[in-house]
């Protein structure tokens, strides 16, 4: 029987082989893909836990994890972890939050933002379905360009800044709004404006704010009412940042032209997609299931980085 501490990787599908090999030098590793019920049943057997985004690691999970010393998650957002409950039990949380230098090389979500934008502006999902049904009528799919459009970036942190540079490279005029910046400032050549001005002036609005509770609901009816009617709203950050009912109404009422979403509210609680979103047409909304950071390259880099971080903690 191994005398190494036991590590449960609770979401092991596609886990980095290099990171796994590193972890095996320090831990007795058990790699599984567990639903919440299975996690609750088994977590008490382990000293360390590794998760992605599938399960909410809340007070209920932590209360039965009596041996647990640390939780590792190769994410920057931590709204799938109850940080207060972990602190109360003396359980360390290791993540990518604050790893500024390393994260400059993790760009998958910014790329996905551009992909969602193009998919919606050019009607790519709808055109694909059209062709797969045996049709070939280009006149049904006249789209819009990013070039010379105005793009408003909300949240000028790491991903906001990277995404802004990508839009700039495509010829867009970029404006930004971010906490700690004042109207009239200039960041990397981009003018800083108010939140209202982002919606009043932008053809494309892209949200890149962290999921802290104080930011929940920051985008709602007021912003959508003053938006340009051709506005495309993109959210690859966190669903809770947006009033979902206000977004649905804005699309239904034509206050904005479309939305491209990689996140929805309450993902970890698995309540399902807001039915009103499902009733919208493909021309109004494009959705992906929180895959922004889900690339082979990014997951490999982040899992190796966090494996080294976890090993350093235990040594």
Q: Which domains does the chain have, with CATH numbers?
A: 6-103+295-314 (3.40.50.720), 107-287 (3.40.50.720)
Print pLDDT tens along the chain (315 aa).
Answer: 578 999 999 999 999 999 999 999 999 999 999 989 999 999 999 999 999 988 889 999 999 999 999 999 999 888 889 999 999 999 999 999 989 899 999 999 999 999 999 999 999 999 999 999 999 999 999 999 999 999 999 999 999 999 999 999 999 999 999 999 999 999 999 999 999 999 999 999 999 999 889 999 999 999 999 999 999 999 999 999 999 999 999 999 999 999 999 999 887 665 678 889 999 998 999 999 999 999 999 999 999 999 999 999 998
Q: How far apart are CA 246 and CA 228, in angstroms?
A: 16
Residues tagged active-site: 238, 269, 290
Q: How far apart are CA 303 and CA 301, in angstroms?
A: 6
Do you know the residue count of the chain? 315
Q: For residue 286, is it left (φ>0), alpha (ψ between -120 and 50) or beta?
A: beta
CA–CA distances in Å: residue 306 to residues 14, 93, 126, 219, 234:
16, 11, 39, 33, 29
Residue 219's nearest CA partner among 247, 189, 191 is 247
Q: 82 — phi, psi (to 5°)?
A: -85, 95
Structure confidence at residue 185 (pLDDT): 93
The pTM score is: 0.89
CA–CA distances in Å: residue 278 to residues 250, 267, 281:
14, 16, 8
Structure confidence at residue 80 (pLDDT): 87
Q: What is the CA radius of gyration of the chain?
A: 21
| Beta-strand relationship, 190-191 and 186-187 | antiparallel
Residue 7: which residues within 8 A CB-CB, separation 6 or more? 23, 27, 28, 29, 30, 46, 47, 48, 49, 50, 310
Structure confidence at residue 270 (pLDDT): 58
Q: What is the DSSP letter of 208?
A: -
Structure confidence at residue 1 (pLDDT): 56
Number of H helices, E strands in the chain: 13, 13
Structure confidence at residue 304 (pLDDT): 97
State CA 168 to chain mean position distance: 22
CA–CA distances in Å: residue 111 to residues 108, 167, 315:
5, 10, 36
Q: How far apart are CA 48 and CA 181, in angstroms?
A: 39
Residue with structure tokens 């009239």? 184
């Amino acid at each position: 029987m191994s005398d190494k501490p036991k590590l449960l990787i609770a979401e092991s599908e596609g886990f980095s082989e290099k990171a796994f090999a590193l972890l095996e030098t320090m831990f007795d590793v058990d790699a599984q893909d567990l639903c919440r019920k299975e996690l609750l049943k088994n977590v008490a057997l382990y000293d360390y836990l590794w998760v992605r985004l599938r399960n909410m690691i809340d007070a209920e999970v932590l209360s039965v994890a009596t041996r647990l010393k640390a939780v590792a998650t190769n994410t920057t957002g931590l709204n799938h972890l109850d940080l207060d409950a972990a602190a109360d039990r003396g359980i360390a949380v290791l993540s990518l939050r604050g790893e500024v230098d390393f994260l400059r090389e993790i760009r998958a979500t910014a790329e996905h933002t551009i992909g969602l934008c193009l998919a919606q502006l050019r009607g790519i999902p709808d055109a694909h379905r059209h062709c797969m049904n045996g049709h070939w009528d280009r006149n049904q799919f006249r789209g819009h360009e990013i070039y010379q459009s105005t793009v408003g970036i909300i949240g000028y942190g790491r991903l906001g800044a990277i995404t802004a540079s990508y839009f700039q490279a495509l010829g867009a005029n970029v404006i930004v709004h971010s906490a700690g910046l004042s109207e009239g400032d200039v960041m990397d050549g981009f003018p800083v404006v108010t939140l209202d001005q982002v919606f009043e002036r932008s053809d494309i609005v892209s949200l890149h704010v962290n999921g802290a509770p104080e930011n929940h609901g920051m985008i709602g009816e007021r912003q959508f009412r003053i938006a340009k009617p051709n506005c495309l709203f993109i959210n690859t950050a966190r669903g809770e940042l947006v009033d979902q009912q206000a977004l649905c109404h804005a699309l239904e009422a034509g206050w904005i032209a479309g939305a491209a979403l990689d996140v929805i509210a309450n993902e970890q609680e698995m309540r399902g997609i807001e039915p009103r979103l499902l009733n919208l047409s493909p021309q109004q909304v494009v959705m992906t299931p929180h895959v922004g950071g889900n690339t082979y390259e990014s997951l490999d880099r982040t899992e190796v980085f966090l494996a080294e971080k976890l090993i350093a903690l235990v040594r």
